[in-house]
Chain A
Amino acid sequence: NAGVMQNPRHLVRRRGQEARLRCSPMKGHSHVYWYRQLPEEGLKFMVYLQKENIIDESGMPKERFSAEFPKEGPSILRIQQVVRGDSAAYFCASSGSAPGELFFGEGSRLTVL
C-alpha cells in the first residue's frame, strides 16, 4: 500500500515563474493537508481539503497561493509568480475521515533563484 506520494521532490524556479506541487494521498484517504517548512523553522499549516472542497485555508497566504483537490487526480498546491521567500519544503499529509493519525509525504523542496 503506497504511502503519500509527492512530486516533484525537488523543483527549481526563477522569480516570477509558477510552481505546481502535486500530492497523491494514501489509498482510501479523502482528506489532504498542506504544510510549509521554511529553512530551519517548524511546520506551518497552510490548507486542509477534502475532495473538491477547501475546508480550512487559514494558513494560506492571501495572494499567489491556491490549492485544489479535484474529484479525480492528485491535490495540487499552486504558487504563482514565485519569490525567493517561497523557497521551502512543502509537505502534504493525508488522513481518513475518522479521527486518527496524519500520514506525511517526503515533501517537495522548492528553490527560487
Chain B
Amino acid sequence: DAKTTQPNSMESNEEEPVHLPCNHSTISGTDYIHWYRQLPSQGPEYVIHGLTSNVNNRMASLAIAEDRKSSTLILHRATLRDAAVYYCILKRANNAGNMLTFGGGTRLMVKP
C-alpha cells in the first residue's frame, strides 16, 4: 500500500472545527482513503473512508483533493472526547482481506 504523510500533532480549541491533513502523493487509482482514530487506552475505531468524492457521516467529513494526492479529515466541532491519534491509511481495493497498515498518525489535542 502507498505511504501517507501526516503532521505529528495538532491543537484545537473545543467547539471549533478541526482540519487534519494527509498527503498521499503516490496514491494509485484503486486505493481507498481510510481514517481511523485511537482514543487513549482504547483500540482504534473507524471514522470514515472515501475514494474520489467527498464523504460525510455522523462523525466527520472527508475532503479529497481533485488529484487525490491529499485529503483532509474535518471534525466540524471538536469536543474534548475527540482528543486522539488520527490515522490516515490507504487501502488497495484488491488487497486480500481488510488488513490496514498504520503509520504514525496525528495526535490531536483539544483545549477547553
Instruction: Return the contact of A102 from the options B42, B100, B104 (Cβ within 8 A).
Output: B100
Judge if A104 is at the interface, Cβ distance under 8 Å. yes
- Of the listed stretches B15-23, B74-82, B90-98, chain A binds B90-98
A43-93 at interface with B (beta carbon < 8 Å): 43-45, 48, 50, 55-56, 91, 93
Given contacts A48-B97, A55-B97, A56-B97, contact A102 B46 (CB under 8 A): yes
B97 proximity list for chain A (CB < 8 A): 31, 33, 48, 50, 55-56, 95
Bound Cα distance from A48 to B97, whole angstroms: 8
**How many residue pairs, one in A and one in B, have C-beta atoms under 8 Å apart?**
55
Distance (Å) between the CB of B95 and the closest chain A CB? 9
Q: Is the interface of A mostly helix, strand, loop or mixed?
A: strand
A95 proximity list for chain B (CB < 8 A): 97-98
Judge if B45 is at the interface, Cβ distance under 8 Å. yes
Bound Cα distance from A25 to B104, whole angstroms: 26
Judge if B44 is at the interface, Cβ distance under 8 Å. yes
A35 proximity list for chain B (CB < 8 A): 102
30 sampled A-B residue pairs with Cβ under 8 A: A4-B43, A31-B97, A31-B98, A33-B97, A42-B103, A43-B38, A45-B100, A48-B96, A48-B97, A48-B99, A56-B96, A56-B97, A91-B43, A93-B44, A95-B97, A99-B98, A100-B98, A101-B34, A101-B46, A101-B98, A102-B36, A102-B98, A102-B100, A103-B46, A104-B43, A104-B44, A106-B42, A106-B43, A107-B42, A107-B43
Q: Which 7 pairs of residues, A with B, have the shortest CB-CB distance?
A: A104-B43, A101-B46, A95-B98, A43-B102, A91-B43, A104-B44, A48-B99
Residues of B bordering A, CB below 8 Å: 34, 36, 38, 42-46, 49, 93, 96-105
Residues of A bordering B, CB below 8 Å: 4, 31, 33, 35, 42-45, 48, 50, 55-56, 91, 93, 95, 99-107
